[in-house]
C-alpha cells in the first residue's frame, strides 16, 4: 500500500507562548498526479491523507476524472486541541467532509493527531455516517495513559454499539487487495 498527502501543509502547534511552527510537508498537485498514476499502473492500494478540505477537493477531482487508483482509502485528519491544521474534531466539521464524499463510494476514516478521536465524539459521528475510525497513541491526548490495545478495544466496543464490528485482517486485506 502506498500513502500520500494530497497537498502541502504548514504545521504548527499551539502552546502557552503561542503558536510554534513545525516543518512544512506535503506534495504539489503535480506530485500527487504522478503518484496516483504510478499506483494505478502498479495496481497498488492507496491511503490518501486529508489534512485540509482542499486536499479532499483535489482527490475528488482526480476521482471524477477517473484518475484515482481503484483501491483508495481516504484518511480524514482533524486537528486536536493544540494542532493548528484542518478542521476541529467536531460533528459539524465531519459533516462538511461527509457532504463532499458521501456519494462517491470511497472508503474513509477519521483520526485526530494530538487529540482524542474517541473522547471528542468524532469516532461515534464517523461510525454513524458510514466511516471508519483510526485509533492509537498518535490519536490520543485525553486523560490517562492508555495503551494502543486499550484504545483499539474502546473503538471496537463503540463500533459494536453501533452495529459496526471491527474488521479482521482478512476483511481489511480483501477490501484493499480485492
Q: From CA 172, how far away is CA 178, in angstroms rounded? A: 10
What SS3 class is residue 146? coil
The pLDDT tens digits for 63-115 are: 999 999 989 999 999 998 899 999 999 999 999 999 999 899 999 999 999 89
* pTM over cut 0.85: yes
Q: From CA 139, how far away is CA 9, in angstroms rounded? A: 18
Q: Is the pLDDT of residue 176 over 80?
A: no
What SS3 class is residue 21? strand
What SS3 class is residue 7? coil
Q: Is the pLDDT of residue 178 over 80?
A: no
Residue 63: give the domain boundaries: 2-177
User: How many structural domains are present in the chain?
Assistant: 1
pLDDT for 168 equals 86
Q: Which long-range contacts (CB under 8 A, 24 or more apart) does 85-88 make?
A: 85/9, 85/10, 85/11, 85/12, 85/51, 85/52, 86/51, 86/52, 86/53, 87/53
The pLDDT tens digits for 101-130 are: 989 999 999 999 989 999 999 999 999 999
Q: What share of the chain is helix, strand, coil (3-state, %, to 5)?
A: 40, 25, 40
CATH number of the domain at 78, please.
3.20.20.70
pLDDT band per the 50, 70, 90 thresholds, residue 140: confident
Report which DSSP code applies to 115.
S
Beta-bridge partners for 111: 77
Amino acid at each position: 500500500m502506498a500513502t500520500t498527502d494530497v497537498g502541502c501543509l504548514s504545521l504548527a502547534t499551539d502552546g502557552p507562548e503561542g503558536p510554534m511552527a513545525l516543518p512544512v510537508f506535503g506534495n504539489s498537485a503535480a506530485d500527487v498526479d504522478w503518484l496516483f498514476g504510478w499506483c494505478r499502473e502498479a495496481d497498488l492500494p492507496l491511503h490518501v491523507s486529508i489534512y485540509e478540505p482542499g486536499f479532499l477537493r483535489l482527490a475528488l477531482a482526480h476521482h471524477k476524472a477517473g484518475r484515482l487508483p481503484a483501491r483508495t482509502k481516504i484518511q480524514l485528519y482533524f486537528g486536536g486541541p493544540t494542532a493548528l491544521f484542518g478542521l476541529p474534531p467536531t460533528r459539524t466539521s465531519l459533516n462538511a467532509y461527509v457532504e463532499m464524499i458521501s456519494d462517491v463510494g470511497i472508503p474513509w476514516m477519521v483520526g485526530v493527531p494530538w487529540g482524542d478521536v474517541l473522547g471528542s465524539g468524532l469516532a461515534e459521528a464517523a461510525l454513524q455516517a458510514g466511516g471508519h475510525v483510526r485509533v492509537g497513541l498518535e490519536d490520543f491526548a485525553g486523560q490517562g495513559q492508555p495503551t494502543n490495545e486499550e484504545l483499539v478495544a474502546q473503538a471496537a466496543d463503540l463500533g459494536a454499539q453501533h452495529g459496526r464490528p471491527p474488521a479482521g485482517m482478512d476483511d481489511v486485506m480483501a477490501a484493499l487487495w480485492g
